[in-house]
Structure 1
Amino acid sequence: MSSVASRLKAGIVGSLLIGGCLLSFWAGRMTADGTAANLEREGGKPLVSETLREQLGSRDVGTEQPAKAAAAGEERARPTNVFPSARSERELSRQREAFRELAFSDPERAFALAERAASRIERKALKEAAFEGWGARDPEAAIRFALEQDIAEQDSALKHAMLGAAEQPGSLLAVYSQLADDETFPTHLEKAAERGVCEALLTNGHFEEAVAFAGESASRSQSQSMLRQSFSTWARWEPETALVAALDLQRRADRELASEVALGSWSQSDPGMLAEFAAELPEGEVREQALRKSLSSWVSQDPAEAADWLATREPAKELDAGLLALVNHPYLAERRPEVALGWAESLWDAGLRADAVSRVVKQWAATDRQAAVAYLKGTDELSLLERRELLALFGERMAFGIDGEAR
């Protein structure tokens, strides 16, 4: 009895140890005999399509191995879920990365595991990751499998397969070219696929390829939309290179659109850097446009820094946008009108200067009428007529001598 008890005890301990080891592995480490069982739904319906098996050239998953297991009397109960359910965005992000890596080496297994996710959100996220991983390894197979998905999932599947495929931009473009020439390619996906290629190239940092691809679109509106997206993204990462590329475009309409978008994107991400760059450009439309966009944005983001930079510059037409932004800044207009007037007086354009000075004086009079009147009596920034009209507006009647001085 003691030997039997000892063997029984050893067997229990061994079973617990083996069970603990098995539980320490998540979906990734299924045994060879259990692979087929874990890749099937209840009822024996394969999780992975026959087309996918053919494209992978894999073993006959779902038929041969379960037969062996059944013959040996070792077929195990199929789990409802073979990996831990994500409980946060952070965990889901880690799972996505794991599935992306798994799909690169074993896409069939990745898709099978993704189908067993506990929730619809996880299932969608993990399948998208699987398409990305497979697309990076075999762009054509992944993209064609994406087209086999249900209509509701095709767009997303195609987008993520292309996203992975864009790690090899030449391969992605070659596969897209084949699809575009294929008469069986779904017409409702044509524009989405074209946008998907452009987005995938941009996401992977292939900006030049994205611009070239956008310019080749048969649809003019689609081409301009992709050009806009391309230069907006490119200018966030490589603003100077993007602007130079925009100015090198052959078609004038494309050149104007791309340079405007690149300047706009750069002015939002780093307006100070753009202002410094623009100040070194030769006089012309590009310099004026760059300074106008950069200074307006700079004043909005950091008025003190922009004011310091403008204070070191001589008045010039292309600086007026920045000066006007300072004049109209809510803080100066409401709390420091005398400072706003100083910037208004620095405007290069005489018409803009007179309008700005008049506007600030009116705002000033609303809070300090006496100070505003005193300013009008002594300033030469406005004509006699303008000064008289403003003083009359404030209830003041003032005579001026021939020299323009108040009497």
Structure 2
Amino acid sequence: MYMENTPQVSRLHIALIGRRNAGKSSLLNAWVGQDVAVVSDVAGTTTDAVRKAVELPGLGACVLLDTPGFDDTDRQLGRLRIERMQTAVEQADIVVVVASGVDLTEEEREWTVSLRRKGTPWMLALGKADTIADAEQEAERMGRELKVPAVAVSAWKRTGLDRLTALLLQLLPPDFGEETITGSLAKEGDRVLLVMPQDKEAPKGRLILPQVQTIRELLDKRCIAVCCTPDKMGEALASFHKSPELIITDSQVFPQVFRQKPADSRLTSFSVLFAAYKGDGRVLRRGAESISLLTEHSRVLIAEACAHVPAGEDIGRVKLPRLLRKRIGEGLQISFVSGRDFPQDLSPYQLVIHCGACMFNRRYVLERIRRAEEQGVPITNYGMAIAHLTGILHQIDFG
């Protein structure tokens, strides 16, 4: 039951990549015991990443990603399909390269080099093993040459699947799943006040995901969690017999909460917490400090993880741009992307400001941070940017 309720962003993401008709979709179906992906002898049947949440022995709650072939040559859709495959790879904690034969093609070799360069854990699966003589020996040979785990698999005969799972367990990042949202900021017995505005961006009758996940973690840590809206913060503080050890709030009400905060209480925000939980807090903090270098001729990219329709005083589309232009000038150019749309080339921008990324897994956020760093473009997130713009970045606790 727990697996069914595990958010996709908290699961181990495993991507299957390879040439068209290498057997990726058949392997996925055999692995999960269901017809999840469409299988056909026609090359290019898989046109978008197919996702399946599963429970794998030893690995726990996972998301398996079946991807389009990276050798797609269709003039109109091929480029788009390959981009979708690349996005799936960026999200993957582990990649399985499904080989189409005993001798790797040029495209297959190029992808193995790319995975090594990015530091992505990966392994080789020799697909359609039932059609290859001495498939197990060939897989072992290929693995030795590539210096990665390798296995021969047959979706038709359902062989090699247990071995595939066992090898993936060896590739599991040692610290996977050990990150916590509140880190060292909260421990058992601490009193934590959560100040949470419930505006138009909060779905009626529900809490947004960062709030839900943070509250659950505080309960798991055996903390005493008290929740209120900003207008009730004074009354909530009065209910404590002494100051709470920690106050967590929303970035957009930082200044209001900071003014009421007891001097001996630490203050942070959901967005700041998620900066370290999902990415690299130190890099994102440096990015916030680079706001001071922007001019009216600068360009800023604001990236949102969820593709929602902006409503009212949207923090990313309205409030943050307003704060930036008030500080930098009305001539500041601001662009927006949402969901999995994120430019490969970030060089036109002097700063990237990302949301808290509660809808993305950690690997995907780190890949975006890596891309920005490689191109020399500062990157930060909503919470840190707002803390800098309101002059309290140095007074925020980062864990």
Give the alignment's TM-score, normalised by structure 2.
0.24
Which structure exhibits the higher relative contact order, with contacts defined as CA atoms closer than 8 Å and separated by 6 or more residues? 2
Structure in which a larger fraction of residues adopt helix? 1
Structure label with greater radius of gyration: 1
Structure in which a larger fraction of residues adopt strand? 2
